[in-house]
Structure 1
Amino acid sequence: MTYDEQRAARAKGLRRSLIVPAATALFIGVSGASVIAPAAAQAQSYNFSSVQIVGTEKIEAATILAYLGFGKNETVTAAELNDAYQRLQGSGLFDTVELQPRGRTLVVRVQEQSIISRINIEGNRRQDDEDLTALIQSRPNQVFSPATAQRDAQLIAEAYAAEGRIAAEVTPKIIRRGGGRVDLVFEVTERDNAEIERISFTGNRAYSDGRLRRVLSSKQAGLLRRFVRSDTYDPERIAFDRQVLTDYYNSRGYIDFEATAVAAEVPQSRDGYQVTFRITEGQQYRFGEINTISEVAGIDVAEFDRESRIRSGNVYNPADVDRAIARMERLAVQKGLNFITVEPRIERNDRAGTLDLTLAIVRGPRVIVERIDIEGNQTTLDRVVRAQFQTVEGDPFNPRQIRAAAERIRALGYFSDVAVEAREGSARDRVIVDVDVEEQGTGSLSFGASYSTTAGFGLNASFTERNFLGRGQYLSAEFSGGRNARNYSFSFSEPSLFGRDLELGVSAYYRTTSATSSANYATTGLFVEPYLSFPVSPSSRISVRGTVQGANMYNVAANSSNILKAEAARGWQVGAGAGFTFTFDSARTALDDRTRYFLQFSGDVGGLGADNQYLKATALARAQTKLFNDQVTLRGAVEGGAIYSISGNGTRITDRFALGTDKLRGFANYGVGPRDLSVPNLDGLGGNYFVAARVEAQFPIGLPEDYGISGGVFADVGSLWGLDNTGGGLIDDSFYLRSVVGASLFWESPVGPLRFNYSIPVVSQGYDRESRFEVTIQSSF
């Protein structure tokens, strides 16, 4: 029997036993919080010579008399007697209170509140007892309160609703143990998650429902997703998505966009939501006239104007304005100009659909950062958080830099919540920056499986800690292996050496391979690389490194090329080396994900101290953009490389290039390039030079977007050529371009991203080894 049922039965029994004369109908027995008003309140007075108290065990009689508020032989009106009843009932000491006048004797019958012996939560499988108990206010050895128990049940139900179980029911019950003590039990019926059955939009003209659904973090559960990837309704995620929509439209020139309302309707079955975003797009704007002015004497306006880098006619994006202001204010700091801020002044031209932008250089308020206080970091050291600030104590206060620091702290991934606020310090011209963080797990231990048509099945296990010992250091150890290969790797890095944007790290691996159809030999390799990385601009970095690299080649098949046999005869070769890598990534400073550029150039000298000394250089240019209202993603890449032997012994196949499927689809590993045509194996020997270009488009294919399935087409072209030893002309190492076209199917499956490629070689050589079909999948569990 629930507590409400017990209370109702007790109240019914009490009403039957009450003696309520018509003249004293004011005094009605009550149960719990129920109060029955008197049928008639007559002007009557009482004079009691004695008070009889019934039902007390722990409460002293003097306490009850104090709540009554009148003494023996005092005249009491009916209203005053009612007030005494209300005081007793409202004291919180009693479960029930009855006042029964019997002549000159007042009988006070009470039932004291019970004490909670223990609290149990039953039926909860999805949430731990400890987590739910922390939510409730009822506690053992405290007075039991029905109202508090009901509120606690609601809090538990809300915890389940937050994870999508909106139909969960929580019922509080009591079990009486005697001696005025009870056990409080919360019975939980969890039920299934409530899925988002449908996400729709009203008012959108520029972008389709499907495109906007891909922007949101919330996903709807379609026919397929009910079985493999159901998503749940989360009010906090919906609120986040509302802001995501606003940012999406604002970054595309719709400055008046509003998500006016979000309606979440629950069907009668209570097993899902239908979410509708009501939006107003407004007009799209482009940049009009761009001007820079200065209200501070002695500033070269032209120099600052060059830092804006905003072009008239481009679609308006507030992020472009923020980046321009950041560059100009950074220039001011470099010139020693303190308290300089840049104000964006925008003038609308609705008819032309343009926004004229004036960037005004002004003298800001002379406010100093007095202190930066960091709280909530139990594991992470203060210096890790402070390293994200370009501002230190004593510097001029710049709100834009503080906001940028807050974003960098969030980007670390160490904290589930970050709040950065400024408040007035010890004087009006000083501020204190408060940083309040909430830590989250940063380590992971994963086990996974992988499959590809080229490498077959494989297993992997890894341990990763992104905030090692709270120092912001990265530590990783990994094993991966399959039928023909084993790889053990380790890496460690300190991203803020000496408190600066200097990354010091080391990477190492040990790898073995066995003979396969594409490589008729086995190899063992090791590699150790300490490196130092530092920025040279907001978008580019340089990494310098030293290397120790070794390789051995053995078990060469008898019918393989003499070139391979000669290289295997050289045995283990371990040598030192050094190199550098320059990278440019527009994503480091661009918030717009529609277009991204990536450039990389590397140069190395290796094999020093061994017989395979070489110089090696590689270059890569990659770009991605989105077209047709972001429906189509277009990607392109061009890369190439060269290796040159400086020892006179020629390069080894373990150092030369091979065009794998990551560079040229449609062909097997070592399927193209220099080949020994004089042996049955037709061994692929790798090449000293390679070049490859790829272009592909990914787009919807008409299936519901919640399936996570899209299509694509691609075209690749490339060549691998050049050897130091051609075996007296038996080896063809000429430059031959190969080209392929193909189609892809992408699926964001519940076990990881899955991709199917079908390639058709258009231009190839007769001895090339094709691999038309490829499927790759990788998952961790």
Structure 2
Amino acid sequence: MEFFKSARSAAIICFLLLSFFAASTFPAEDPNRERVTLKDIRISGNVRVEDDGIRLHLKSRAGETFDPAVVDQDVKAIFRMGFFDDVQAELSPDGVLTYAVKEKPYIREVKIQGASQVSKEKIETALGVGARTILDRTKVAEGVDKVRKLYNEQGYVNAAVDYSVSVESSNQAVVTLDISEGNRLLIKRVAFEGNKAFSESDLKGLIATKEEWIFSFITNRGVLDRDMLTNDVAILSNHYNDNGYVEHKIDDPVILRARDGLEVVFRISEGPQYRVGKVELGGELIADGKQMLKSVKLTTGQIFRGSRLREDVTTLTDMYSNKGFAFAQVDPITKVDSNAKSVDVALVISKGPPVYFNRVLVAGNTKTRDKVVRRELLMNEQELFSGTKITQSRNALQRTGYFEDVQVTTKKTDQADAVDLLVDVKEGPTGTFQVGGGYSSGDGFLFNANVSEKNLFGKGQGVSGNFSIGSKRQDYIVSLTDPYFNDTKVAMGVDLFNTKREFTDFNEHKIGFGVNSNYPLKDFTVPFFGLGRKDKEKGSDELASDAAPSIWDYMRGGVAYDLTRETINGIDPAASQAIKDSEGTSLTSSVTPGITYDSRDHFFAPTEGTKSAFSVKLAGLGGDSRFIKSDLSGRWHYPLLKDPNWGGNYVLALGGQLGYGIGFTKTNDGKNDLPLFERYFIGGINSVRGFSDRSLGPREPSCVTDTSTVPSTVTCHGSDVVGGNTAAVMNAELLFPIMEQYGVRGVAFFDMGNAFANGINFGDLRRSVGAGVRWMSPFGPLRVELGFPLNKKPGDETSVLGFSIGSQP
């Protein structure tokens, strides 16, 4: 008992002594005690860090009254500089305040010992600690862990990485890494146990973990990655869930080590396969339940698939969204019947209040006027919410070609039944000025000057001037376009042109002008026939339509008028008779009604959607030429894969052209052929690649008549392409990313086509395959493509390399 009393007394005495010494260092301010004025502030103990650098962090000043609280803040501020292991503040009796610091060691050298298979540069980068820096032991330890991870990523799973820090008398440190690499162990085998429903090869194809192969030293395939294994388990689990195995279990992968490598084993308990039982809709329905069930993909008796259930939730959510219920929730409730091996599904819907677009806010348009953006939007302020209209509006803005990127999002407001629509655009380059020269397949050497602006003064109007002078071509073309003429939905355009072409057997000169106009068919109404749809008034309380976009939403109808004077001259004496018969000057006055369809999601690099056109050119309203010429073209884009891990977007593009024409002025041989300047000449980068420009089509003998002999003699040398009245071209392309972030994509293609005098002879179609690169350059779309003919016939002219700038397929 006496011992405890003595111990307690000793503790009290120690506490009093400590309190005394603490108070004697920085005594608490006593209002009755004379305050100390700081005569000077000094720094001691610093060698590498300058005094002025430390003083910048101090609040205490000479001449001011000593304040322990301020001094405490100064000590903490010096610590936060990160250069010191210890900081003390001392106040002398004569009023001198000294901050005594102890600097952290300075790393003089980093030694790496035992590394031979992994480069020193990679280790230093992972370590993140270098010479001539302040020693931070925590950072060193973190860096060593990163080095260990680096070795694991390279396949050295048995590597041991230790480190030591030695501090010399000069307060300089040496950090030493001792590495024992061991043998590189890659995954020799990936195995599955318990899998019966799916083969081992099927499951291997799903996961990212792969066995080593011959190029593992380059690709690192076969390296064990535990994070990847965790993700693989999730992938396999999702696969089993999506095939009705709702009771499956997948254990953590087992890693077996051998001398020459690793084996990864996935142990699976599949359980029975379940099918869909009852499917019901509940909650707040906006239509007849039976009708709504028709849009649900899950049906009784199917294999239960989680992905299909998620699709149904999305479908119903979109259905309600398009009716104005932006915050509708669809909760899937499942009930597993172990006896029947079925899963009953109930989709319970809570629609919430109808939501309106409050304000439409446009951002990011530094040049483009707000109205140019707003006129492409399908929704109005105070109109019921529609998710489909948001998607369609974004695509419409992308198709203008004014913007690199468009994001359309919603933002909640302080009103429960209203959201703001945020349209954030990133403007792209819409104006170009080009002066240059080059060589183009088909046109020879060419000097080109081009000035164009698609978004003039930010009004969405376009103007362009193209002036080309080359060895085989001269162009002077000026175009004006206004997609919303006089703020209406009528598009207007005017073209002035003066072009010359030098072909193998003749020269062609065209001069004239054209006027064109078109209008969206969805807004076109024909009395009594109900064509087109009438928009609801702004602020209408009527539920928004949930109908899928129809063909009319993407169609425009229009008409064009052209007046052209054509001259055919410079005919080679050896040219065919059909070309010689076309020599001279004629005037063509034509009207061309047409329809276009464009549902692409992007103007320059579409990943889905279709662009097509149909037109009929009627010549004979005055002038010398009489003919009808109809053309149909289309290009369909289908997204195959969109995955950043594989570089970006993979797109299948299928396209084609059909053309047919008939002339009403008989030629010398009694045929109703089209005029030479309107005939179809196939071949080149824009039709059947691998064949020279304008080299495919009907041919006639190329003959020379010698009248100096009696009788005259006719000598024929080969044949000339005279053009066809009918043409057919089909293209199939696979577009894949190369450096998609820079606008560079690759293309592999198959082409087929030809021109014919009458009808289409499918046995005479030329075919080719090839590949190329496309770049959305600052000067416009650039294409370099190699084509290889598959069924070249005698007389065909081939051209493997095709080059083009400024045009897109």
Q: Distance in 2 between matches of 1:601 and 1:611?
A: 25
Counterpart among 744, 767, 772 of residue 746 in structure 1: 772
Q: Distance in 2 between matches of 1:574 and 1:685?
A: 20
Most deviating of 679-688 and 348-357: 348-357
Letter of the 1:615 counterpart: I
Counterpart among 691, 701, 717 of residue 677 in structure 1: 701
Equivalent residues of 2:595, 2:613 under 8 A apart = yes
Q: Distance in 1 between matches of 2:484 and 2:311?
A: 28
Q: 1:469 to 1:44 in 2, by over 3 A?
A: closer
Deviation string 1:131-167 (CA, Å, 9 cap, x unpaired) is: xxxxxxxxxxxxxxxxxxxxxxxxxxxxxxxxxxxxx
Equivalent residues of 2:637, 2:651 under 8 A apart = yes
SS in 1 for 2:514: strand
- 2:370 paired with 1:382: yes
Equivalent residues of 2:75, 2:88 under 8 A apart = no
SS in 2 for 1:577: strand
Q: Distance in 1 between matches of 2:370 and 2:316?
A: 29
Q: What is the deviation of 1:68?
A: 1.7
CA-based RMSD of the aligned residues comes to: 6.4
Q: What is the deviation of 1:324?
A: 5.9
Q: Distance in 2 between matches of 1:645 and 1:292?
A: 64
Q: 1:81 to 1:526 in 2, by over 3 A?
A: closer
Q: What is the deviation of 1:515?
A: 3.0
Q: 1:98 to 1:495 in 2, by over 3 A?
A: same
Equivalent residues of 2:361, 2:420 under 8 A apart = yes
Aligned match of 2:510: 524
Normalized against structure 1, the TM-score is what? 0.53
Most deviating of 613-622 and 747-756: 747-756
Aligned match of 1:555: 570
Counterpart among 556, 562, 565 of residue 542 in structure 1: 556
Q: Distance in 2 between matches of 1:562 and 1:674?
A: 13
Deviation string 1:614-639 (CA, Å, 9 cap, x unpaired) is: 22112235556688999997665453
SS in 2 for 1:384: helix
Aligned match of 1:30: none
Q: 1:423 to 1:745 in 2, by over 3 A?
A: closer
SS in 1 for 2:579: helix
Q: 1:69 to 1:658 in 2, by over 3 A?
A: same
Equivalent residues of 1:529, 1:547 under 8 A apart = yes
Q: Distance in 1 between matches of 2:317 and 2:619?
A: 41
Q: Distance in 1 between matches of 2:760 and 2:770?
A: 31
Q: Distance in 1 between matches of 2:799 and 2:439?
A: 13
Aligned match of 1:619: 632
Q: Distance in 2 between matches of 1:350 and 1:513?
A: 79
SS in 2 for 1:687: coil
Q: 1:459 to 1:328 in 2, by over 3 A?
A: farther
Counterparts of residues 643-658 of structure 1 (less than 5 Å):
643-646=661-664, 651-658=674-681
Normalized against structure 2, the TM-score is what? 0.51
Letter of the 1:684 counterpart: V
Q: What is the deviation of 1:485?
A: 1.0
Count the aligned residue pairs: 544
Q: What is the deviation of 1:685?
A: 2.2
Counterparts of residues 716-755 of structure 1 (less than 5 Å):
716-722=752-758, 737-747=763-773, 753-755=783-785
Q: What is the deviation of 1:504?
A: 1.0
Aligned match of 2:726: 689
SS in 2 for 1:508: strand
SS in 1 for 2:623: coil
Q: What is the deviation of 1:365?
A: 0.9
Counterpart among 766, 779, 801 of residue 775 in structure 1: 801
Counterparts of residues 595-614 of structure 1 (less than 5 Å):
599-614=612-627
Letter of the 2:756 counterpart: L
Most deviating of 736-745 and 345-354: 345-354
SS in 2 for 1:567: coil
Aligned match of 2:382: 394
Unaligned stretches of 5+ in structure 1?
1-39, 71-78, 111-201, 211-221, 224-241, 257-282, 723-732
Deviation string 1:399-456 (CA, Å, 9 cap, x unpaired) is: 665566567657765376757332224x443444455666565434345666454333
**Percent of aligned positions that are identical:** 16
Q: 1:516 to 1:747 in 2, by over 3 A?
A: same
Equivalent residues of 1:658, 1:720 under 8 A apart = no
Letter of the 1:520 counterpart: F
Equivalent residues of 1:346, 1:355 under 8 A apart = no
Q: Distance in 2 between matches of 1:486 and 1:309?
A: 59
- 2:797 paired with 1:761: no
Q: Distance in 1 between matches of 2:71 and 2:479?
A: 78
Counterpart among 25, 39, 43 of residue 24 in structure 2: 43
SS in 2 for 1:757: strand
Q: Distance in 1 between matches of 2:346 and 2:477?
A: 53
Deviation string 1:68-89 (CA, Å, 9 cap, x unpaired) is: 258xxxxxxxx68956987999
SS in 2 for 1:609: strand
Aligned match of 1:424: 413
Unaligned stretches of 5+ in structure 2?
1-20, 28-33, 43-55, 82-86, 100-188, 191-202, 210-217, 220-230, 246-269, 523-548, 705-716
Deviation string 1:186-225 (CA, Å, 9 cap, x unpaired) is: xxxxxxxxxxxxxxxx999547989xxxxxxxxxxx99xx
Q: 1:469 to 1:362 in 2, by over 3 A?
A: farther
Q: Distance in 2 between matches of 1:318 and 1:586?
A: 29
Aligned match of 2:499: 512
SS in 2 for 1:385: helix
Q: 1:619 to 1:755 in 2, by over 3 A?
A: same
- 2:92 paired with 1:68: no
Counterparts of residues 560-575 of structure 1 (less than 5 Å):
560-569=575-584, 571-575=585-589
Q: Distance in 2 between matches of 1:328 and 1:98?
A: 70
Counterpart among 654, 657, 676 of residue 639 in structure 1: 657
Equivalent residues of 1:384, 1:472 under 8 A apart = yes
Equivalent residues of 1:100, 1:106 under 8 A apart = no
Q: Distance in 1 between matches of 2:295 and 2:656?
A: 30
Equivalent residues of 2:71, 2:89 under 8 A apart = no
Letter of the 1:43 counterpart: S
Counterparts of residues 368-517 of structure 1 (less than 5 Å):
368-375=356-363, 377-398=365-386, 401-402=389-390, 405=393, 414=403, 418=407, 420-425=409-414, 427-435=415-423, 441-447=429-435, 451-495=439-483, 502=489, 504-506=491-493, 508=495, 510-517=497-504
The structure having more radius of gyration, on CA atoms, is 2
Q: 1:361 to 1:398 in 2, by over 3 A?
A: farther
Deviation string 1:353-395 (CA, Å, 9 cap, x unpaired) is: 9999999887541333333344554433222333344332222
Aligned match of 2:196: none
Q: What is the deviation of 1:592?
A: 11
Most deviating of 656-665 and 440-449: 440-449
Q: 1:64 to 1:493 in 2, by over 3 A?
A: same
Equivalent residues of 1:416, 1:439 under 8 A apart = yes
Counterparts of residues 146-185 of structure 1 (less than 5 Å):
none
Q: What is the deviation of 1:45?
A: 8.7
Q: Distance in 1 between matches of 2:284 and 2:690?
A: 62
User: Whose relative contact order is higher, 1 or 2, with alpha carbons under 8 Å and at least 6 apart?
Assistant: 1
